[in-house]
Structures are given as C-alpha cells and as structure tokens.
Amino acid sequence: MNAPSTSALAIDVRGLQKRFGERHVVNNVSLQVGRGEIYGFLGPNGSGKTTCIRMLCGLLTPDAGSGTCLGFDIVRDSAEIKRHVGYMTQRFSFWEDLSIRENLDFVARIYGVKDHERAIAHSLDHLGLTHRASQLAGTLSGGWKQRLALAACLLHEPQLLLLDEPTAGVDPSARRDFWEELHRLAARGISVLVSTHYMDEAERCHKLAYIAWGELLAKGTASEITDSLGLSTCAIYGGDLVGIADRLRDARGVSQTVAFGSALHASGTDADTLLATIEATIRGTGARVKPIPTSLEHAFIFLMKSGASNSGAEGR
C-alpha cells in the first residue's frame, strides 16, 4: 500500500464536473484544503455537495476536472484514496443488529487494520464508547450513532475525513462534543472536509466554500466571504414587522429581509440607500432601525438567493 503524500494540501482539485443525465450536478468546482484544516462545505439541499465529496473519495468518477486527494490522483488512484480517507455518510450506514464492537470489528477487517483488537479498544476509549461496546447499534440515540460512525472512520488512521452532514438530527450538546473532537483531530494534523447547514458550525471552520446548484459561489474564511459580498445590514424593531417586511421586499436598495426573533433584518449592497429606504418605510409605524454587522448567516442567505436567481431555480 502506498503512503499518503506529505504535500501541504490534503485536497487540490480543479474544474470538477459531473452530470447525471441532463442534470449538471457539479459545474467547474475547485477546492484546496490544507493539512490540519477544517474546511466547511455549505449549500442548500441538492446543491452538489454530496456528489463532490463522493468524487473526492473515489466513489464517483468526475466527467471532467483533475486533482489530488492526499497526493493520489482522483481519477487513477481511487482505490488508494479509499484506503486513506475516512468517509462519514449523511445517513447512519452501519449494522443496527450488531453491537458497537462488532461493527468496529467488521470495519477494521475490511480495511485490513493490523492489530485490530488494539485499534478497536483505542477507538472505543477515545470516543467514550467503551461502556456501550456491547450495545446494539440500532438502540443508540443520534449522538451515540454519530460517535460510532466517527470511531469507524478513524480505525484505519486516515489523514483526511470527509463528513457529509454528520450532525443532522443530533442534539446541540452532542453537536458541540462532536466539533470539539474535530478540532482535536485537526490539531493532530488530520484534515476535515465537512458539509453542514448550521451557521454556528460553519463559524467553527478554518475556511468555507459555498456551493449552490452545482457552482461554487464563494470560498475563504468566514470574514473574507462576508466582506467580499459588500453587504450592509440593519435591524428593525417594533411595529408590524410582517407588514414592514412585505413593503421592503423588492424595495430600492433592499436585497433581502429575514426575520430574526423579535427583529427584522434587512440587507443591501448600498448602506445609504438601504437605510434611507428603511427609514421612509417605517416612518410613523413606531418601529426603529439600527445598523448592525453583517453576519455569516446573512451572507449565506444572500448567496442562496443569488444562486437560485442565477440558475433559474428561484420560485420552483
């Protein structure tokens, strides 16, 4: 078995393309993920995230594009990539009628892990699963199933983890524990590409990429992405916020309106025009307006709306 490359990049792919019939699922996507980096992969359902991940780990062959994963060519060396990457699917994909230990034993044998009993014991201990080792996987809660899946991913000591919405349906406490573990793994030099819909998780990534309808719309750190859009945002408090939102929709200088708790947030690319339009709209309503920093969530709502508009998907 060849050893993984020690290049500074764990993932370096350019121009990835994939079609399924007439549908262009991935269109010219390029990604570079450094060693020990947690890279967040964001986008709406059906945006092409899972297809990209499957091309990176050798489960799908791209129609066009090139690059490497851990130094292995994504087209020629797919078998090697599978041996050196840990892939966690969206859905729990282990055997519910087997115990945690039996599941890990099966996975370890598939990968040909040397001294697999020691590796299993280490994995159980590391992820706090030892006291549940005999429990059937089908009886586990979402958070414990997540730990089992991560333990299985780590058995063969991969240098890259590809995690496809790993915390979907998991409670906040389990999500927090999971992300603390990801940061411990990254500190050991393990790279992580993780897709997520949660903005608090996105903010815990070192870098981010946003994909919509198969196209990469933005990438960089959270602050780089937010700054690149040039959005200004105002919070509106009091008054009939539903009615105000209706009047602001498609108004001059307003790119989007989003309800946030007891406030309405409005964003636009021209700060002066945005504020003037809001002030004119709320005059006499008892509402008040205050400029606030544009958050990552504002930025991604804007990107999703822009991507839908550009693809013709808006309103479908």
Return the H-helix or E-strand segment holding 34: strand 23-34
pLDDT recorded at residue 315: 38
Could you tell me which of 171, 187, 167 has the C-alpha nearest to residue 179? 167
Contact 48, 214 (CB under 8 A): yes
Report the C-alpha gap between 85 and 74 in whole angstroms.
12
Report the distance separating Cα 96 and Cα 104, nearest Å.
12
CA quadruple 195, 198, 204, 208: dihedral, nearest 10: 50
Q: In this predicted structure, what is the pLDDT of residue 142?
A: 85
Look at residue 37 in the predicted model and tell me its pLDDT. Answer: 96
**What CA–CA distance (Å, rounded) separates 190 from 102?**
26
Residue 292 CA, distance from chain mean position: 26
Q: Using alpha carbons only, give the angle 195, 68, 192 rounded to the nearest 5 degrees.
A: 30
SS3 164: strand
* Residue-level pLDDT at 314: 44
**pTM summary value:** 0.86
- Enumerate domains of the chain plus CATH numbers: 9-225 (3.40.50.300), 232-293 (3.30.70.100)
pLDDT at site 316: 35
| pLDDT recorded at residue 6 | 53
Q: In the prediction, which pLDDT does 283 show? A: 94
Residue in 206, 199, 230, 223 with CA at minimum distance from that of residue 306: 230
Chain length of the chain: 316
CB 209 within 8 A of CB 216: yes
CA angle 145, 146, 150 (to 5 degrees): 115
Amino acid code (one letter) for 160: L
* Residue 228 parent element (H or E): helix 222-229
pLDDT at 3: 57
pLDDT in tens, the chain (316 residues): 565 555 689 999 999 999 999 899 999 999 999 999 999 999 888 888 999 999 998 889 999 999 999 999 999 999 899 889 999 887 888 899 999 999 999 999 988 888 889 999 998 998 889 999 999 999 998 888 888 999 999 998 899 999 988 887 778 888 888 899 999 999 999 999 999 888 889 999 999 999 988 899 999 999 999 999 999 999 999 989 999 999 999 899 999 999 998 999 999 999 999 999 999 999 999 999 999 999 999 998 898 877 655 555 443 3
The C-alpha atoms of residue 97 and residue 26 are separated, in whole angstroms, by 36
Q: The tokens 């693809």 sit on which residue?
A: 311
